[in-house]
Structure 1
Amino acid sequence: MELKPLKGQHHVSAITASAEKNYTFYTQTLGMRLVKKTVNQDDTSVYHLFYADERGNPGTDLTFFEIPRAGQTVPGTDSITTTSLRVRDNSSLDYWKQRLEDHGVAHDDFSNINGRRTLAFRDFEGQRLMLVSDEHNEGVAGGQPWEKSPVPTRHGILGLGPVFLTVSRPDRTARTLTDIMGYRELPSFEGEAGQPPIRVFTTGEGGTGAEIYLVERADLSRERPGRGSVHHVAFRVENEEELRKWVDHITSSGLSNSGFVERYYFRSLYFREPNGILFELATDGPGFEGDEDFEHLGEGLALPPYFEPHREAIEANLKPLHTSRSS
């Protein structure tokens, strides 16, 4: 059975305690487009919000589950510790530094990480984010920022960049990435003072949209997740036929997994790597325009067909979130 290489990041899903504040921050401050307002398909009592480029192209989605009672994250190891977001070039980072300051968003100084200019910042719940310049990037193409965003298209977020995994036993995760998932290991780069180098893994066409950074921190306790933490990272698979091959492959590798899962907007497979981080493989399609047209993505509560008979009960359990842009 021949498997095509994974194509890079598909989406990252995180946790928020406030859908309303989350919507305001990611659309008004970061200028991403809400392309789908739906529910967590494993718990329909909570929202699942998808922010992305103009139409939610694969590789551009940062998503959030709303868990109103979620406590604050206690950072630690065996977790996804930073999600980076791609911008066009170094001058875009200058724009973003000023924008973050204008909006009172906590951020670090510019940094050079693995040869790229970056700007780390946190959202209102401490979600760890980083803008990364694509100035010299080659590899997976970025998305197309939405022209109606409050951020100029020239500086808009293009999609997901490298994802940082912080683990206590890096060799176990590394073997999963290379021996099972087909990633290639690249030269490492310097980490924090006194800490081991950060290992770099890539897949498919490579570049910022296809890199995983593996950070070793055996000195930390396991992260206690809450608002401001990341739930899982998903990787791109071309189509359903290919995903079904991956289901067989992951199963034969000995990793416990979900099997094939229908998510309507894409099809998925879930499993945990040996340090306990949740990975998902997700298909590039069908996409987000099957139940809403392009102009009105994210404006109404979208439910997959298998949840439509329960719409009234689902809506009754959700606090209204007004996302219509036509009024």
Structure 2
Amino acid sequence: MQLKGIHHVSAITANAKENYHFYTEILGMRLVKKTVNQDDTSMYHLFYADEAGNPGTDLTFFEIKNAGNTYPGISSISGTSLRVPNDKALSYWVDRFNQYHVEHEGISNQGERNVIHFYDHEKQRLTLISDEHNNGVPGGRPWSQSSASVEHGIIGLGPSKLTIKDPTPTVKVLTEILTFTQVGSYPSTVKGQEDILIFSTGEGGTGAEIHVEVRDDLARERPGRGSVHHVAFRVTNEAELFKWKARLTEARIPNSGLVDRYYFQSLYFREPNGILFELATDGPGFATDEDINHLGESLALPPFLEDQREEIEAKLVPLDTIGNK
């Protein structure tokens, strides 16, 4: 068994309408599923991805209307990367961010790659990372109707960054349980802090990495809007997911057991520093209940929630995504 890379990242927003505007109109990603949080159907769950909603390209958001500010700290997923095709694309995005008044830090180096660190309207900590020299997991395909340049468009998720105080137990889970190996490091931008460690799985590359930042100068993060809820890793199918459950149980790591999310099967657990990990299957996918040409236009509910549709819709503020442009 070996994980194939990042499957999706799920974060928190306080306003679905503003979130939809930023990620579709400014970043040019496609809303591939407008549904609800299956554990709390009073809130939207929005999925942004490449044109087909391929695994490894999904950045998702739970709408928690009363979410307060995030106070960054340890025991957190402190950074989410989005892949672009090459270094030239980064120059395009600097110009676009300036045009739309998006807060960013310009083009810089992160190890051997060029990146742009930037923030959405709720201070979500984001990075565009160049695939110029990527030889690992291939990226997806930008949406052909994107409001941004298709040539320079976002092609998937890059590395997630974990910020922790004690790396030893987290690294043990990554390497001894989850099949990651350390493949490098790069300097921290914070004076006096250790280098950030790079861990890779599967085919490797930008779509299959976790970066571990050790900080001894921060308190525990207080999450809110603009924070990340969990990161999910790719598993081939349900049969393999059962094997992962057995591995976690044998290692005495408490876990959720298999959870049917309809669009994929999931398994959740927390690593020793309290960060929530998910293992998720590559399929069935988002075209299971919607035509590929009309993904995200209507409120999609899995079959086990369909009989509650009227009650669920009554609790949601309507979000117009018809045309999804």
1:117-141 Cα shifts (integer Å, max 9, x gaps)? 0000000000000000000111000
Alignment counterpart, residue 324 of structure 1, candidates 314, 317, 322: 322
Aligned-residue offset at 1:326: 7.7
Question: Hey, which bits of structure 1, 4+ residues long, moved more than 4 A?
Answer: none
1:232 matched to which residue of 2? 230
Alignment of 1:10-21 (within 5 A): 10-21=7-18
1 CA distance for matches of 2:94 and 2:186? 24
Structure 1-normalised TM-score?
0.98
Alignment of 1:45-64 (within 5 A): 45-64=42-61
Alignment counterpart, residue 112 of structure 2, candidates 111, 115, 118: 115
1:282 matched to which residue of 2? 280
Asked if structure 1 preserves the Cα contact closer than 8 Å seen for 2:3 and 2:201, the reply is: yes
Task: Letter of the 1:178 partner, please give it.
Answer: T
1:23 matched to which residue of 2? 20
Alignment of 1:173-212 (within 5 A): 173-192=170-189, 193-212=191-210
User: Per the alignment, in what secondary structure is the counterpart of residue 38 of structure 1?
Assistant: strand
Identity of aligned residues (%): 61
Task: Letter of the 2:66 partner, please give it.
Answer: R
Task: Letter of the 1:109 partner, please give it.
Answer: G
Does residue 7 of the first structure (1) align with residue 4 of the second (2)? yes
Aligned-residue offset at 1:219: 1.8
Long gaps (5+) in structure 1: none
2:35 matched to which residue of 1? 38
2 CA distance for matches of 1:68 and 1:41? 17
User: Per the alignment, in what secondary structure is the counterpart of residue 233 of structure 1?
Assistant: strand
Q: Which moved more, 1:179-188 or 1:264-273?
A: 179-188
Long gaps (5+) in structure 2: none
2 CA distance for matches of 1:133 and 1:219? 30
2 CA distance for matches of 1:197 and 1:151? 34
Does residue 166 of the first structure (1) align with residue 172 of the second (2)? no
1 CA distance for matches of 2:324 and 2:2? 41
Task: Letter of the 1:319 partner, please give it.
Answer: V
Aligned-residue offset at 1:187: 2.1
1 CA distance for matches of 2:31 and 2:198? 31
User: Per the alignment, in what secondary structure is the counterpart of residue 120 of structure 1?
Assistant: strand
Alignment counterpart, residue 297 of structure 1, candidates 288, 295, 298: 295
1:124 matched to which residue of 2? 121
User: Per the alignment, in what secondary structure is the counterpart of residue 286 of structure 2?
Assistant: coil
1:257 matched to which residue of 2? 255
Asked if structure 1 preserves the Cα contact closer than 8 Å seen for 2:202 and 2:208, the reply is: yes
1 CA distance for matches of 2:318 and 2:127? 30
Aligned-residue offset at 1:252: 1.1
User: Per the alignment, in what secondary structure is the counterpart of residue 51 of structure 1?
Assistant: strand
2:66 matched to which residue of 1? 69
1 CA distance for matches of 2:255 and 2:216? 26
Task: Letter of the 1:198 partner, please give it.
Answer: I
Aligned-residue offset at 1:144: 0.5
1 CA distance for matches of 2:309 and 2:184? 50
User: Per the alignment, in what secondary structure is the counterpart of residue 98 of structure 1?
Assistant: helix
Alignment counterpart, residue 267 of structure 2, candidates 266, 269, 284: 269
1:95 matched to which residue of 2? 92
Aligned-residue offset at 1:191: 1.1
1:314 matched to which residue of 2? 312
2 CA distance for matches of 1:231 and 1:306? 24
